[in-house]
Amino acid sequence: MKEIHCKMFGHDYNISRNVTYHVKEYTCSKCNKQLTTGVSGELVTLTPKFKEINDVLERIHAKRNKKKSREKILFENLLIFKH
C-alpha cells in the first residue's frame, strides 16, 4: 500500500542524517526508501558501500570541525588586549 502512494504521488523525502555540510541522507516517510548525495550532487540509492563512505566522511568532518573550533578559541584568546 505504501509503495502505491509513492508510485502515484512520488516520494516524500526527509533528511534523516547530516553527514557533512553538503552530503546528507534522506528517507521517504511513506516507503522508507533511503537515498544519499552522490559524488556529483545527485541523489543515489543508499547502498552499504555509500553508508560506509558516509560514516567515514562524518568522522573526518567531525574531527576537522572540532580542531577548527579549538583553534578558533585559542586565537580568540590570543587576540584579546586589555588596557
Longest dimension (CA), the chain: 71
Choice between 83 and 61, residue whose per-residue pLDDT is larger: 61
Residue 83 lies in a domain: no
Residue 11 lies in a domain: yes
User: Is the pLDDT reported for residue 77 higher than 90?
Assistant: no
User: Is the pLDDT reported for residue 75 higher than 80?
Assistant: no
Query: In whole numbers, what is the pLDDT of the chain averaged over residues?
Result: 86
pTM of this structure:
0.75
Q: Measured between alpha carbons, how far is 34 from 7 in angstroms, rounded to an integer?
A: 15
Q: How many domains does the chain have?
A: 1
Residue 40 lies in a domain: yes
Q: Which domain holds residue 31?
A: 2-78
Q: Are strands 13-18 and 43-45 parallel, antiparallel or unpaired?
A: unpaired
